[in-house]
Amino acid sequence: MNANGETIIDVRGLTKRFGGRAAVKEVDLKVSRGEIVGFLGPNGSGKTTTIRMLCGLLRPDGGEGTCLGFDIVRDAEAIKREVGYMTQRFSLYEDLTIRENLEFVARLYAVKNVRGSVDGTVDGLGLKSRQHQLAGTLSGGWKQRLALAACIMHKPRLLLLDEPTAGVDPKARREFWDEIHRLAEDGLTVLVSTHYMDEAERCHRVVYIAYGTIVARGTAEEIIHNSGLGTFVVAGRGAAAAARALEGMPGVEQVAAFGQTIHVVGSDRAAMETSIRNIAARYPVQVETGETTLEDVFIRLMGEAQANGDGR
């Protein structure tokens, strides 16, 4: 990660309402140059709305701050020119080739030396062998690579990715993330929304938003540690029956199947251990201490947000 300390995003109290309902509620966010920040949350949590306010596509109803040094309210047009924004849906022309799409985007951004820029982009992202193929005939992974190429061809300083790997295979996802890390090493700042926990763990930091409010932030390790959750793994012939019996017992907050094992999660470790010990005495199972995951933490955070009346 580039650690020169330059602030790229610095917003406070960011708020957006639709029809009287707050989709984003007083969000504070600060991101430094070269960081890859994962923006996590359930559908409808405010991720896309926040991203669109940051890049000048939506005007905030409240809050203040800067993006790339520009005021997010007064300088929206200037921000748009300096940002690459990759949406959830493939938004390029399917009846044009890869090269024709990139030439079109280059002219939109008034890129100097269109031919040279397109040549460099198709070489840099491994698109050269397919540059004359129609975009509509590409697989999900190749469409994703083309969309990323279109986002970075004008040399933005900030890349905003809205669930960019939805619908692509694991190999394409890994290659995509390798490219994102390479770009960050060169100083590009990345804010990426995702539903995949393994992708969140590849980010330098994670910000979790639930129902328009940020409820956790930090590295993946920090978020797991600060959650206070403990995990046990239950295995054996009686694991499925034990799982049913553990539901709702003291200290047990989550019971989830992982292959042939059951993961039991809770914050009151003493009460959870007592419940598991009692169940283990009744069923043919073995119990071991397990590792708490980001998924465990985020399920807990969602439950807390709903309990606090934030759910819709």
CA distances in angstroms from 279 to 98, 215, 262, 264, listed in the order given: 59, 33, 13, 12
Euclidean distance between CA atoms 22 and 293, whole angstroms:
30
Q: Residue 72 pLDDT more than 60?
A: yes
Task: Residue 124: name the closest of 186, 72, 80, 67 by CA.
Answer: 186
pLDDT at 36: 97
pTM, two decimal places: 0.88
Q: Residue 4 pLDDT more than 60?
A: no
> Which residues, in sequence order, are CB contacts of 250 under 8 Å at separation 6+?
268, 271, 272, 274, 275
Counting Cβ atoms within 10 Å, is residue 229 exposed (0-12), middle (13-18) or buried (19+)?
buried
Mean pLDDT of the chain: 91
Beta bridge partners of 252: none
Task: Residue 221: name the closest of 272, 302, 297 by CA.
Answer: 297
Q: Residue 108 pLDDT more than 50?
A: yes
Task: Return the structure tokens found at 94.
Answer: 């399917």
**Strand, coil or helix: 39:** strand
Q: Residue 310 pLDDT more than 60?
A: no
Task: Return the structure tokens found at 295.
Answer: 């998924």
Q: Residue 42 pLDDT more than 90?
A: no
Per-residue pLDDT reduced to its tens digit, 261-292: 999 999 999 999 999 999 999 999 999 999 99
User: Given the DSSP bridges, would you call strands 36-40 and 70-71 parallel, antiparallel or unpaired?
Assistant: unpaired
How far from the centroid of its chain's Cα atoms is residue 38's Cα? 4
Euclidean distance between CA atoms 127 and 131, whole angstroms:
6
pLDDT at 199: 87
Q: Where are the alpha helices (DSSP H) in 153-280?
A: 170-185, 197-200, 220-227, 239-246, 269-280
Domains observed in the chain: 7-222 (3.40.50.300), 230-291 (3.30.70)
pLDDT at 2: 46
Looking at the chain, the whole-number percentage of residues with pLDDT higher than 90 is 77
User: What mean pLDDT do residues 59-68 have?
Assistant: 96
DSSP 84-121: EEE-SS--S-TTSBHHHHHHHHHHHTT-SSHHHHHHHH
pLDDT at 221: 94
Q: Residue 126 pLDDT more than 70?
A: yes
CA distances in angstroms from 253 to 174, 205, 222, 231, 236, listed in the order given: 32, 26, 21, 10, 21
For residues 296 and 258, is the Cβ–Cβ distance under 8 A? no
Q: Residue 312 pLDDT more than 50?
A: no
Looking at the chain, the whole-number percentage of residues with pLDDT higher than 70 is 97
Cβ neighbours, 10 Å, residue 2: 16
Q: Residue 207 pLDDT more than 80?
A: yes
pLDDT at 166: 75
Band (309; pLDDT cuts 50, 70, 90)? low
